[in-house]
Amino acid sequence: MKYSNVALEGLAYTLPDEMVTSAELEARLAPLYTRLRLPEGRLELMTGIRERRFWPAGSLPGDHSIVTVQKLLETSERDPAAVGMLVHASVCRDYIEPATACRVHHDAGLPADCLVYDVSNACLGILNGMIQVANAIELGQVRAGIVVGTEDARPIVENTIRMLNSDESLTRDQMKLAVASLTLGSGSVAVLLTHRDLSRSGSRMLAAHGRAHTVGNALCRGTYQPVPAADGSISRVAPVMQTDSEQLLIEGIAAARPTFEGFLAEAGWSRGDISRTICHQVGSAHRKLMLSTLELDPARDFTTYETLGNTGSVALPITLAKAAESGTLAAGDRVALMGIGSGVNVLMMAVEWQGGAF
């Protein structure tokens, strides 16, 4: 996919106030750690994640997506009436139906002649939404569009801790399937794409290339399970995720290698042309293997997983926004956005950075 008319015009993100360290999670897992004789500090040692953030209990993803879209419109100084497309693209959503995008659209004051819907594709949802908006701009269907999403890690992390402590039959090997759930964090992000004629920043989305490697579709699966009450009845359902992290890493990197070669060809770049890389924020082991496999310089990579954890679909765009905010990105930088999502799918984008609204 190549683009001639798509500008990456603005990014906005919102983060929860509550910070939870890996040490605090391990303290809550004391019954499990004691029974299995696990050393404290292993979670941060294995993942490189010191802390993550959680939204207030009971809040809905749409609550935070509304705030983030409003922030994006304000910082980019855009008239809501100019937005022709709104995609809500996180794993987390308010309800099975209607689309979470509907409430965000209403509360953000977007126009009636705006395409409004949800998209979900694990950790690639926001990037997939960006592709859809970019395609619509390139085809002349819309002039500007917003992709937004909010991930809420609190329910799955808390349910994982409950399960690990309550099931006394769990072995060390079985516990490994829950480690990925403990790395999750919360956040919200919104991305504004416009036709280049409307651009004030000059930042361009040049190309994208994706690849499906769905042999790995069973390696990470999230669902809901019943939670029994004290009297044995079912009090509620709660999210649960099981992840074969080691095999998912192997399959993800296997898919990334050919995707990267196709990405370079699509963008017309060589490895040496890449000024900065922004990858999906899984953790230290994933980052190290990804960059070494693709022969990319770690010094050119920017990360946030250390303090935000794995924030799912919003991780990569939040990291891009923070890289820009910190002054890491300079005008003229060629930035490779490299996303991998369970399933396994890979999507990479080429951005020529000039600036933007934050």
Residues designated as active site: 97, 123
DSSP designation for 55:
P
Q: Which ranges constitute the DSSP H helices of the chain?
A: 22-28, 30-36, 42-47, 61-76, 100-107, 125-138, 154-166, 172-182, 245-267, 284-293, 305-308, 315-325
| Whole-number CA gyration radius for the chain | 20
Residue 37: count other Cβ atoms within 10 Å of its Cβ.
7
338 class by beta-carbon count within 10 Å (0-12 exposed, 13-18 middle, 19+ buried): buried
Nearest Cα residue to 202 out of 356, 25, 41? 356
Q: Specify the residue for token string 């619509």.
A: 136
How many Å apart are CA 300 and CA 284, to the nearest integer?
15
DSSP designation for 295:
T
Longest dimension (CA), the chain: 64
CB-based contact 194:11 (threshold 8 Å): no
Joined together, the tokens standing for residue 8 give 């990456």
CB-based contact 152:186 (threshold 8 Å): yes
Using the Cα atoms of residue 70, residue 200, residue 348 and residue 179 in order, give the sign of their dihedral. Answer: negative
Residue 242: count other Cβ atoms within 10 Å of its Cβ.
17
Nearest Cα residue to 91 out of 152, 147, 145, 132? 152
